[in-house]
Amino acid sequence: MTVQTIDLLKTPTDLKKLLSFVTKGNEVLLTEGSKPVARVLPMVTTETVRVPGLHAGAIWTSDDFDAPLPDKFWTGQQ
């Protein structure tokens, strides 16, 4: 991965050229003088396939899941 440093105070930045550089797997460090202010990195995406039923039985829902909560819950009483 190549890292390119761009000083925003000295160099006008063309966003299309910057994104083209980054989408090729490179990194851009944006600075104001010697102070780094941002880093632009390529997005890392994974194509994970979700498998239904993989963790069957790991989660359960109680029978009264959607029942109204008691008044003492809303008033903060014990």
Q: What order do you get walking across the sheet with 27-32 strand by strand? A: 3-7, 27-32, 35-40
Q: What is the DSSP string of 34-67?
A: TEEEEEE-------PPP-TTTTTTS----TTTTS
Please write the tens of the pLDDT for every residue from 36-76: 999 999 988 888 888 898 888 898 899 999 999 999 889 98
Mean pLDDT, residues 7-23 taken together: 85
Q: What pTM was estimated for this model as a whole?
A: 0.53
Q: Which of 62, 14, 4 is nearest to 38 (CA)?
A: 4
